[in-house]
Amino acid sequence: MSQISALTALELRDALHRAEISAREASEHYLARIQELNPGLGSFVTITAERALDAATRADEHLAAGGPLGMLHGMPLAYKDLLDVAGVVTGYGTAALEPAIAPRDSPLVATLTRAGAISLGKTQVPEFGLSSHSENDVSPPARNPLNRALSAGGSSGGEAAAVAAGMLPFGPGNDGGGSVRIPASACGLIGLKPTLGTIPSDVLDGRVDSFGAPRLTVSGPLARTARDAALLLDAMIDPSRETTLEALSGGAIESLRGLRIGISTLSPFASLYEIRLAPEAHAALAAGIKALGARGHYLEEAEIFYDTAYPEIFSTVWTSGLAAAPIPAGREEKLGTLARSFRERARARERNTSLAAALRLREIAADMRTQWGHYDVVLTPAMAHTPPEIGFYTGQDADTDYMRQCQYTPFTSMVNVSGLPAITVPTFTTAEGLSMGVQMIGRAGSELQLLALAAQISEM
């Protein structure tokens, strides 16, 4: 039992399938880890121990009866407190809404439950998932397991901290501007943002938002290894097929050579903010270049130019949805500084302004895809500097908060705009034990290739 959390997610899944470990043993082990570690890390805002153990017992009985096993039979995981789990409170990280018990599962939760996963609870997020940290006004912040004084990133920060600390074997996140890749980088994990539409539940409401802008948010795995990420990705796409994992295990890693990789440190936010890469970011990028070169890929400086209107257009699109947020009368004052300020601006904005920004962002997205398409992969630093301290963002006015987020994460939101896949992978450990890494942006549908590249880097 003491060794369960030392297993990779894939090893644990296989042991559960072979009945070497029972689903109840796995859930009990991780719940004990949560009880021990969560008070100091703030990863979980809700722990559903009794529900989890009941589900684990049913999973064991199903296995004993010889029933067919789901891809994630008995696997413990958790969900961000932005997703509904039937019978469990959803808080959205805000004091402006009364926490409500969800009547049904969100589509992704339903998919992973069909795959056999067992939920242990809900993890910490920033208010409405808006920020690159996981701090709010209703519960303790998610702290970085590598240094508890520092941010775990966001908005999937509680999920990332739980995986990195061994409270979960892996975790599903979602990414609207970097919300999987940012906390993965901060906590030393692999984080994959798939192509828009790769995971069917992401596009049930279409591929554009209510203003016609590209839909930004997709679901993606946070994991310690590329194979673990592939297993969870497959379950999120189709619980009946291990397509990506089988390809990785079938030689996709060893056979991948000769890609043309364009290296870029240019950010579309540079037209508005000073984007400065810390020495640790340069070191991580250099390590990534060296590792990919050693695997037989061709690396060169990329010629990329970004529309100088990007910061304004992205901010308009990113905040437009706040105008329609269902905040009850009299509770606006309970919103945090960032959400309140940006909601006020969104509500004061003419609809035609949001419609025009949506159209312009689609044009910018097409231009990005064209430019990046000159390369098989575009390589950037993952983050511009090491994770900041808790309170680095939230102690500021809204504009300073937002600027600091853009300066820490200058390479992430553009990928959401493009709809393309990207992965962050650790490449460098600082003298203080912090993790830094690189981001690789692929062509549409290239999740397997990105996972193979991540494995090539991390398994050297």
What residue has token string 């990789």?
261
Residue 131 is among the residues annotated as catalytic for this protein: no
Cα–Cα distance between 54 and 329 in angstroms, integer? 39
Q: State the catalytic residue, choosing from 134, 155, 264, 435.
A: 155
Residue 179 is among the residues annotated as catalytic for this protein: yes
447 near 302, Cβ under 8 Å? no
Show Cβ contacts of residue 290 under 8 Å, excluding neighbours closer than 6 positions: none
Cα–Cα distance between 402 and 386 in angstroms, integer? 17
Show Cβ contacts of residue 83 under 8 Å, excluding neighbours closer than 6 positions: 90, 106, 108, 109, 122, 174
Using the CB atoms, write b or e for 122-143: b if 16+ within 10 Å. Answer: bbbbbbbbbbbbbbbebbbbbb
What residue has token string 């304004």?
312
The amino acid at 122? K
User: Alpha carbon of 4 to those of 12, 14, 127, 159, 235: distances in Å?
Assistant: 7, 12, 33, 19, 21
Q: State the catalytic residue, choosing from 106, 151, 156, 179.
A: 179
The amino acid at 203? V
Residue 139 is among the residues annotated as catalytic for this protein: no
Active site members: 80, 155, 179
